[in-house]
Structure 1
Amino acid sequence: MSERLQIDLINEVSVRISGQVVPLVQSRKTVALMAYLAVTGQPHRREHLCELFFPDTNDPKGSLRWSLTKLRQALNTHSTCLQTPGTSVLIDADLISLDVHHVQAVHDAADPSSADLVEVAELLSHRPFMGLELSRNDDYALWLMGEREQLHSLRPRIFQRMVTAEDVSDQDAVKWLRRWQRLDPYSHEAPRLLSQKLTDLGLQDEAAIVARDYTALMGDSAVIEPRRDPLEPVRTRQSIGFCKASDGVKIAYAKVGNGPPLVKTANWLNHLELDWESPIWADMFHALAADHTFVRYDERGNGLSDWDVPDISFPAFLEDLETVVDHLGLTRFPLLGLSQGCAVSIEYSIRHPEKVSAMILIGGYAAGWRVGLSPEEREQREAVLTLTRHGWGTSNPAYRHIFSQTFMPNADSERLAWFDDFQRRTTSPENAVRFQEAFGDIDIRHLLPKVQTPTLVLHARDDQRIPLRCGRELAANIPNAELVTLDSQSHIILGDEPAWQVCMNEISRFLAKHVPEGRKGRR
């Protein structure tokens, strides 16, 4: 049998046979097509490939034929790797060696060699699929993003196993741990293992610096604690997927943790990759994922979901939640709503009472700012809309800072700056305005008495974004709802606030009472 073709996509794109480089055509779409076929390793209909790679060409079928001709010339010199049976196209995975598959195999191996671990760690130190991005190819971009996320999710296990291997020197272990910490700055495991290794080597001062920097980044409540088993699999590694709403809008969702499901409704604003390890939400999200399969999603118009959408409205927000739940096949689960996500949660629980076992509403409201606020407050919100239209996308954070300070009035400058930048990266100026207008028109007050689901309402006593009276209105009108006021000014309760621990304790108590099986997922 001929030697298998080697295709590399992670560090740099290349094709080799017997060590000799095979030249590729200078067409980004053609090379991206090769990467897609090689990674998926399965047949794809020609129509699908035309839609994925050539939606903006006058002759998609002709463009695909041209690309396949160029790929045959490069790939099929020693064996028929590229095959076109009937109306399908595939690259036979058995006839090639692919670095992406090698990385996954080493990750999954029961006892990989240190050499393999070092090789794969080096590969995972690079940004995968560089140069394979395509403009105006949304479906392909979502696939590429998912593949990158999958490779990044393999880093922790690879690095952990490598630095604890018997034949890896202490010097190399420290070197790789520092690299891991640089690659994943919000990782909990990298600084913990690095601090532990430095302490074992008698380098207490350096270990103290690692712990200090970790606390500065993650907040005063973050503490580096040793884990019993350094090779214990990390549960809190999220996986990201995509599904489509009925109007064709692509919605990104994430799952993380073990145990029974807990679904969080989208709020202002979300980005599955950025907020998971953020200094704003990470404490809450990681705590919730410890006992549940924690499900989040980016609603239309922001984050990893489609931005260019025809409809940003309350009914569309509700459909986004329904789309994710149906796609994942969830049958019964507690629902967590934050801010305007509370209104979406409430209407969903009324439409689907058989699915929602309990409901937790934090900082929520039943009537949007055009409906439920005073004339003076409405005038202020209209002024903010004007500022958003003209200043959201600029490099000057002053416009976005208006939001940041009302969400977290007591946050330190670093977290305020992070949230300023986060908002800019999470949605467009146009969508930021559309979101605010949609939130202003929400009015579900008439639905509150229809809620059948056990409900916990949590609200900061001095919330500067959504007044406490809004939370009281929810609790007063939802049958048998519990109300807990939190001693804070924040709309987003931060992990180093005393109110945060009170909030988390109340959530745990409520779920244990109304969803007893919720504690069984903990391991």
Structure 2
Amino acid sequence: MTKVAASAELPLQLRLRLFGYPDVRFDDAALALRERRVLALIIYIAMAKGPVSREAVSALLWPEADSETSRARLRRLIYKIRQAAGIDVVESDRVNIRLSDRVAVDCDVVVFEDLLTQHRFTEAEMVYSADFLEGFHLDDASELEEWIFFRREALKGRLVHALERLIQTAFDERRYPDAVIFARRLVECDPLNEAAHRQLIRASAEGGDLVSARRHYQFCADLLKRSLGIAPSKETRALLDLHAVAAPPSVVPVSPVRYVAVDGLHVAYRTVGEGPLDILLVPGFVSHVERVFEDEHCRRWIERVAKAGRVILFDRRGVGLSDRAEACPTPEAVARDMGAVLDAARSRRAIIVGASEGGPGSIFFAARCASRVHRLILWGAMAKGCRSPDYPFALERQQFDLWLARITKEWGGPVDLSIFAPSVRDDPLVQRWWASLLRAASSPGSMRTVLSALRDVDVRALLPEISVPTTVMHRKGDRAVRVEAAAYMAERIPGARHLLQEGDDHWFWIGDQEPLICEIEAAATS
């Protein structure tokens, strides 16, 4: 491109198209420099939306070089950009670099995220033309490649979330052709996601196109057989019967997914059953109010509990069908989600079942909103995320960060199933469901935000303030949360019952379901 002689009054327009292979233009003229590190530098600092350290950028672009060499290369790169643009596009001091205030950025990724924030999902879906920086690589810059991967997965996760919202709305409004279009895009995002195929089969069938429904079922069956060596689940097979298209059969009424506004975000919830007392299930670090029914163990547990009372399921902010949260979801924020969901479901008082990472939010809610809690039941929960001298039975902060890096790197597969549910770790149906749930519920980048909140959580000071009847339950061989965490809480919550159970599974719906179900049934009848 020719140099741009920008005046002091007029900003330089930087146009970034990052969905697909990157296209970088200054004042509508293509950047003459096509060197990948030039593109990477401009993209990285533009996406940062503020100053970034020179040291961090140098390490990102030249990880194998020593600090003096990488700093010199960075200076040359900044000079090349200035020569091409005609002004100081990148400003720097001895510590940081940033885009100049004279540069106005027009970026499709920013437009996409802004549209999602405004819940303009149809427009956002149209902006997402391809995956983030598709086809763009720097093979000798592993940290940059990792940054691109996590950003790409986070954006794809937000697209999946938007598509699921669009599909649900299309079904609610009986716009089946639109549901087909959005479901087809969802399948393209994750071809091995059987639930996405079910949405497409259902949309075709309910729209009256049984030929397309059967054709896509066969395509799904062939793909699963070829790629995973498995057959479609019984829920998918049931969709071929037009009368069973709406959903897998359930012995109790299940409400549609609904949303309630909290702190400018929308939290998804639904109810199961119609009992006289409400049971609010506060999930662990990942959840999805639709996908939970796809695992027979989980569905059976929910339907059994729904005979004792109305079960209220919800996805905390940041996961599942709820809006993604920019900030870490603190226990106080989760408690606000809980209160809003109870209000929306017109529930004055409920049994609170806080499972695993749902424990801290449940503890906060029970301590601060005791009048709305009939009984608090904590299962496999903890009051603190990381180890300290007075709390020695959790991971060190460094250990937690290493686990977090590993789980985000392996996201999308059946991550840590041997820890969460060792008794079914070799079950291919559970493996497939767990991997699919993770992909649907979050992206690696978003999950890193959610789990960072768990690492820093500490609600121990609230334990003595809990005045509601409380039961603390834990399995003796739990590999995810040590059994000492349960004893710690039970000793400090006034009058709490401490019930240890046999088994190694962390998930309450795997293994012996009876003890927790019996405790809920007893609370519902007390």
The amino acid that maps onto 1:338 is A
2:523 equivalent to 1:473? no
1:375–1:351 distance in 2 versus 1, CA, 3 Å: closer
Code of the residue aligned with 2:524 in structure 1: it is L
Any conservation in 1 of the 2:397–2:455 contact (CA below 8 Å)?
no
Query: Is the 8 Å Cα contact of residues 359 and 455 (structure 1) preserved in structure 2?
Result: yes
Paired residue for 1:385? 404
Cα drift, residue 421 of structure 1: 3.2
2:308 pairs with one of 278, 288, 291: 291
Distance 1:305 1:233, change over 3 A: closer
C-alpha spacing 1:328/1:509, structure 2 compared with 1 (3 Å):
closer
Contact preservation (8 Å) 2:251, 2:303:
no
Residue type matched to 1:411 in 2? V
**One-letter amino acid matched to 1:131:** I
Distance verdict in 2 for CA 1:373–1:291, change over 3 Å: same
Structure 2 residue 146 is matched with structure 1 residue 129: no
Q: Does the 8 Å CA contact 1:457/1:484 hold for their aligned counterparts?
A: yes
- Taking only the aligned residue pairs, the percentage that are identical comes to 22
How far is the alpha carbon of 1:187 from its aligned partner? 5.3
Task: Judge conservation of contact 1:255–1:295 (CA < 8 Å) in 2.
Answer: yes
1:277 aligns with 2:294: yes
1:144-163 to 2 correspondences below 5 Å? none
User: What one-letter code is carried by the residue in structure 2 that aligns with 1:476?
Assistant: E
The residue that corresponds to 1:321 in the other structure is 338
Residue of structure 2 in register with 1:487 after alignment? 502
Amino acid aligned to 2:266:
K
Which residue of structure 2 lines up, in the alignment, with residue 446 of structure 1?
461
1:250 and 1:101 map into 2 onto residues whose CA distance is 18
Question: Where do 1:89-488 residues align within 5 Å?
Answer: 129-131=179-181, 185=233, 234-246=251-263, 248-260=264-276, 261-307=278-324, 309-371=326-388, 372-373=391-392, 377-389=396-408, 391-393=409-411, 397=413, 401=415, 403-413=416-426, 414=428, 415-488=430-503
> CA–CA distance in 2 between the matches of 1:508 and 1:189?
34
Whole-Å Cα distance in 2 between the matches of residues 184 and 238 of structure 1?
25
- Pick the aligned partner of 1:503 from 516, 521, 526: 516
Q: Per-residue deviation at 1:370?
A: 4.6
Q: CA 1:131/1:315 → structure 2, altered by over 3 Å: closer, same or farther?
A: same
Q: 1:264 to 1:186 in 2, by over 3 A?
A: farther
Return the alpha-carbon distance in structure 1 between the equivalents of residues 236 and 501 of structure 2: 28
C-alpha deviation, 1:284, in angstroms: 1.7
CA contact (8 A) 1:302 1:427 kept: yes
Distance 1:130 1:188 in 2: 16
What displacement does 1:435 show?
A: 1.7
Decide whether the 8 Å contact of 1:236 with 1:290 is kept in 2: no
The whole-number CA distance in structure 1 between the counterparts of 2:234 and 2:321 is 19
- Name the amino acid aligned to 1:418: W
Larger deviation, residues 282-291 vs 267-276:
282-291
> Per the alignment, do residues 441 and 186 of structure 1 end up closer, same or farther by CA in structure 2, a change over 3 Å counting?
farther
| Alpha-carbon distance in structure 2 between the residues aligned to 1:252 and 1:392 | 26
For residues 184 and 241 of structure 1, do their structure 2 counterparts lie closer, same or farther at Cα, with a shift above 3 Å needed?
A: farther
Amino acid at match of 2:449: R
C-alpha displacement at 1:245, in angstroms? 0.8
Change (3 A) 1:467 1:375: closer
Question: In 1, Cα distance between the equivalents of 2:357 and 2:291?
Answer: 20
Q: 8 Å contact 2:328–2:450 — kept in the other structure? A: no
**Corresponding letter in the other structure for 1:340:** E
Distance 2:491 2:405 in 1: 34
Are the structure 2 counterparts of residues 102 and 251 from structure 1 closer, same or farther at C-alpha, using a change threshold of 3 Å? closer
- Partner Cα separation in structure 2 for residue 364 and residue 252 of structure 1: 23
> For 1:54 and 1:422, how far apart are their aligned partners in 2?
24
Letter in 2 for 1:350: A
Secondary structure of the corresponding residue to residue 250 of structure 1: strand
Count of paired positions: 323
Output one character per residue of 1:409-453: Cα deviation in whole Å (capped at 9) or x when no partner: 221422234313322321111122112211111111111111111
Contact persistence 2:476–2:501 (CA under 8 A): yes
1:318-359 deviations in Å (ceiling 9; x for gaps): 222122122233211111110121221121112111111111
Question: What's the Cα RMSD here?
Answer: 4.3
- For structure 1, which runs of at least 5 residues remain unmatched after alignment? 1-49, 57-98, 104-122, 136-147, 157-174, 194-217, 219-231, 514-523
Secondary structure of the corresponding residue to residue 489 of structure 1: coil
Q: Is the 8 A contact 1:272 1:304 kept in 2?
A: yes
CA apart distance, 1:186: 5.5
Structure 2 gap segments, 5+ residues each: 1-117, 125-169, 186-197, 207-213, 222-230, 242-247
Corresponding residue of 1:518: none
Q: In structure 2, what is the Cα distance between the partners aligned to 1:152 and 1:293?
A: 27
| Matched AA of 2:405 | T
8 Å Cα contact 2:279/2:350 also seen in 1: yes
Alpha-carbon offset, residue 502 of structure 1: 2.8
